[in-house]
Structure 1
Amino acid sequence: LTFRMPGRDSAMQATSAILMDKHMLPKFVDLWLERSRWSSWEAAFLWFLSVAIEAAVVTWTHDGDDDCHLPGIVHITAFAVVAGTFSALSLYLLHMCNAQAAMIDHYSATAAETTDDYWQLRHDWDRIQATLRRSAQGLTPCLLTLTFTPLLVVAVSAIELFLDNEYHGHRIMLELSPKLIVLLGALRGLCRIGEVTGNCERLPVFLNSLLLGDFFDEEASHLIDFIERSKAGFYAFDAKVDFSGMSKVAYVFGAGLVALLTQVVKL
């Protein structure tokens, strides 16, 4: 979270920028907290479920071995710490994406109430897109970690399954199951990134129907053109990250799991 690429903010600095924005934060903080509350409960549930399954797997694999109680406890504790750290990182990314999505949704919801002040709408969008850019740059290391970790887990499991012929394939899949539950939280965060970019892309269409209606308003038209030309969204390394890009990660992850299951069936 404190890692900072040259010339860019760290994730913690990007978070501070959002929390210290006294102009924008009060407008969307309630919506942000409502979404983040559910996200926190879901992350805690997935973490608890993964630890419970890991404990069951360790107990089952060492059933009847009285000398493995201490190593089993150490193994479960280590898994709980690692899974908790990864879940906290994915939850942090999810909270930040919730804040970005809440800013855009609040802007869309309140646009109809301030149609007589297009300067204020343009000023607010300037602040929103600047916040989106800055926070996305700070979150890029987190995004890379959460993107490549699921692929790495599948790749390591596949290599272990293909190279160790004496290892029971069903046991590998059983030991992999609690890790997959933890990775679900990361996939949820990646999908929320796509939602942020998608909301930005749909905003001009929504405002076009909301502000223009049956008559032409030059100021409203300029505002819509300004928002459309801003190309706002979630950017990583100056490339826009949308839902289609994040879904490809899920597709590769799912294809790897299918390949593993197919190999296990053959064994």
Structure 2
Amino acid sequence: MQKARIYQIFYSEQTRRNLDAGFIPLNNSNRRPDWCEYWPIRNYLIDEPLDSDTYYGFLSPKFRSKTGLMAADVHQFLNDSADAAPDIVTFSPFFDAAALFPNIFLQGADSHSEVWPAFVESARLLVPGIDLDTLVMDSTNTVFCNYFLAKPPFWRHWLSKAERIFQIAEQSNTPFAQALNQTTNHSSGPTAVKVFVIERLLSLILATEPQWRVKSFNPMCLPLNYPGADRIGEQLIMLDALKMAAVATGRSEYMQVFASLKTRTVK
């Protein structure tokens, strides 16, 4: 059995009642709602001692509705992944949202163009020289909603990068900070752009730091994001495969075919 402490965050009595009993409740009520889940994750990683042999995870109250998975499924997959000795284990839904765009940042900006400046500045801060217009991600390194488990070395690395965004946003005295603190419409209500930056941090790390060992629950088995996406399953797989080939070979022709196929697929 793999050692794991998997928390599920709640922020009200209603969300607490809906938690999966197989996860550990983590209270985020009456605290910094502007940071959403990052606030309790940050506090835990800073305040609590971490066991080097244990996987830690911090899942939102919507984990089951977004993935269809229960705590037993998560623990079972973690145990089944033991031989691979991963640093990170992911449970990302929305395979369609990942497949249809070159990367997770362009995906986010497709619906909310106002987030793009903060995305660009955040990526440049954390990965100098990166160009989000040309960065290619695929299903092996795209993770939505912070749905992942990791051992302490990765969590410390992740936190060090997240804190750079946090400190800038908290100072709130630069155009970059203002872009991070700007709110955008979301299904759960107005949400600060910095929340969407933090939710994409894992994907940015995985796409630019290949040294981390990752084991992913098959995202094609999890719920999709866009209405009607289930009708284009084969095209989604081809789009994802083209991105994998582009990254593996560095050949631009794969992304040219990707763009052509996407145009024919999305009408």
TM bucket (normalised to shorter chain) is under 0.3
Q: Which has the higher helix share?
A: 1
Q: Which has the higher strand share?
A: 2
Structure whose alpha-carbon radius of gyration is higher: 1
- TM-score of the two chains, using structure 1 as the length reference: 0.26
